[in-house]
């Protein structure tokens, strides 16, 4: 790893964090990191991919670690926005959970997401802040958002929940089954939409059997 990629050079004053130039740099970094991995990627390659100078990158980011952290936060925030766009016409909890579960799993099994998780795990010991950013912007934020939706359903009498966050994590873990782990370790092929739906349907049935207030029709896989 080049020290110039990690250490901080003298940088001009920061500009507006949501500028188009900053987004261009993050998009360029995404291409390079996903192709090369964190350690092999260089700021020179990021500059080329983003069509900016290396000096311009350092206007916005002090180091390769900080750039990767911004990429992680940006990707997790975009995923969360998509995941929790809830159709207001859905008025039953099973359909709501199914929509969220399918959206969640469709995102989790994407090749780019698997690559990102692998990269974060690889650097988390050396750069704990990167791991913390991923965890807080991903699992923690997602759990909090789902917990809020579950509490709304509980207030409507559709669920019996005493710990919103714990219930949210239970649902997400049920949805993942073993599919995401299999992809992370390279032992499984990417599931088809039908396989995702079948896994989520089981997750919804199991979740409602424990937290629901109405009888659930039992189905065997």
Does the pLDDT of residue 199 top 60, yes or no?
yes
Does the pLDDT of residue 17 top 60, yes or no?
no
> For residue 93, how many C-alpha atoms fall within 13 Å in the half-sphere facing its CB?
26
Clarify whether residues 22 and 107 are in a common domain: no
Taking the model in full, what pTM does it have?
0.81
Give the least confident one: 5-14, 23-32, 58-67, 88-97.
Answer: 5-14
CA 47 – CA 68 distance, rounded (Å): 14
Last residue of a domain, one of 62, 81, 103: 62
Residues spanned by the domain of 32: 3-62
Is residue 67 a part of any domain in this protein?
no
pLDDT higher for 78 or 8? 78
pLDDT digits 0-9 by tens, 6-15: 333 333 334 4
- CATH code of the domain containing 41: 1.10.10.60
Clarify whether residues 23 and 105 are in a common domain: no
Is residue 167 a part of any domain in this protein?
yes
CA 71 – CA 195 distance, rounded (Å): 30
Name the burial class of residue 13, with classes exposed (0-12), middle (13-18) and buried (19+) by CB atoms within 10 angstroms of its CB: exposed
Clarify whether residues 103 and 10 are in a common domain: no
Taking the chain, what is the end-to-end CA distance rounded to the nearest angstrom? 48
CA 209 – CA 219 distance, rounded (Å): 11
């Amino acid at each position: 790893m080049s020290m110039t990629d990690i250490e901080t050079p003298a940088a001009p004053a920061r500009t507006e964090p949501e500028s188009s130039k900053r987004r261009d740099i993050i998009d360029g970094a995404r291409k390079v990191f996903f192709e090369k991995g964190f350690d092999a990627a260089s700021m020179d390659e990021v500059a080329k991919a983003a069509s900016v100078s290396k000096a311009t990158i350092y206007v916005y980011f002090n180091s390769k670690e900080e750039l990767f952290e911004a990429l992680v936060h940006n990707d997790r925030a975009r995923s969360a926005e998509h995941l929790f766009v809830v159709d207001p016409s859905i008025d039953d909890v099973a359909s709501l959970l199914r929509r969220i579960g399918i959206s969640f799993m469709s995102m989790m099994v994407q090749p780019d997401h698997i690559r990102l998780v692998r990269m974060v795990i690889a650097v988390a010991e050396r750069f704990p802040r990167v791991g913390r950013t991923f965890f807080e912007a991903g699992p923690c934020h997602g759990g909090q958002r789902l917990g809020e939706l579950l509490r709304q359903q509980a207030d409507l009498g559709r669920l019996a929940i005493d710990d919103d966050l714990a219930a949210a994590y239970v649902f997400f873990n049920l949805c993942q089954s073993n599919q995401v782990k299999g992809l992370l370790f390279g032992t499984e092929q990417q599931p088809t939409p039908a396989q995702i739906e079948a896994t989520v349907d089981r997750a919804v049935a199991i979740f409602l059997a424990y937290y629901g207030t109405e009888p659930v029709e039992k189905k065997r896989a």
